[in-house]
Amino acid sequence: MAQFSLNINAQTYNIDVSPDTPLLWVLRDTLGLKGTKFGCGKALCGACTVHLDGNAIRSCSFPVSAVKGKVVTIEGLSEKGDHPLQLAWQEVDVPQCGYCQTGQIMSAAALLQRNPSPTDKDIDMAMSGNICRCGTYLRIRKAIHTAAKGGADE
Ligand code: FES
Ligand code: FES
């Protein structure tokens, strides 16, 4: 066990865990932030996506000892669930079962931070690591355009 001080959603958490504990385990089991989901556990599906200093990372495969910077989870993306992507997700009615969707939104948010007007190709590339078993890809793309351009989807 070792002590770590983590900045998550603009709060400081001091925790005592094994250094190789995946960040996802810390978020869900230690801190109770269960919006971030476990899917494959092997950095293959994107369900566990969070931000580290604005970049999308797979928290299932990111040891807590490697976390140097500010983490944002879906709980910290906006104060009232009103991030433009969250509003667009509702407008477009994106989710089916919902399981993959927090990871999808976090990847999309990282994309829009570095590219506020992505093309379909930009979106497909940025989102290619986020798997949706329900096949909501077209609605995800539409919602990203909606958030980026106020409804100007293609
Ligand atoms: S649970 Fe992390 S990528 Fe699948
Ligand atoms: S909405 Fe069901 S897995 Fe994506």
Q: What's the topology of domain 2-76?
A: Ubiquitin-like (UB roll) (3.10.20)
Once rounded to an integer, what is the mean pLDDT over residues 130-147?
98
Residue 149: the pLDDT is 83
For a substitution probing ligand 2, which of 44, 102, 106, 133 has the most ligand atoms within 8 Å of its CB?
Answer: 133
d(CA 101, CA 103): 5
Once rounded to an integer, what is the mean pLDDT over residues 107-127?
98
Once rounded to an integer, what is the mean pLDDT over residues 15-23?
98
Q: Lay out the sheet containing 70-72: strands in order across.
A: 11-17, 2-8, 70-72, 49-52, 55-58
- Report the Cα–Cα distance between both ends of the chain, in Å, rounded: 51
Cα of 107 from ligand 2 centre, angstroms:
15
* Ligand closest in space to the Cα of 93: 2
- Per CATH, the homologous superfamily of domain 84-149 is [2Fe-2S]-binding domain (1.10.150.120)
Distances (CA, A) of 123 to 51, 66, 72, 96, 107: 17, 28, 21, 20, 10
Cβ 4 vs Cβ 64: under 8 Å: yes
Cα of 131 from ligand 2 centre, angstroms:
8
- Whether residue 151 is predicted with pLDDT greater than 90 in this model: the reply is no
Cα of 1 from ligand 2 centre, angstroms:
35
In the predicted model, what is the mean pLDDT of the chain?
Answer: 96
Once rounded to an integer, what is the mean pLDDT over residues 112-141?
98
CA atoms lying within 13 Å on the CB side of residue 125: 8
Once rounded to an integer, what is the mean pLDDT over residues 67-88?
97
Structural domain spans, the chain:
2-76, 84-149
- Whether residue 6 is predicted with pLDDT greater than 50 in this model: the reply is yes
Q: Amino acid letter at 47?
A: A
For a substitution probing ligand 2, which of 89, 134, 138 has the most ligand atoms within 8 Å of its CB?
Answer: 134
- Whether residue 75 is predicted with pLDDT greater than 60 in this model: the reply is yes
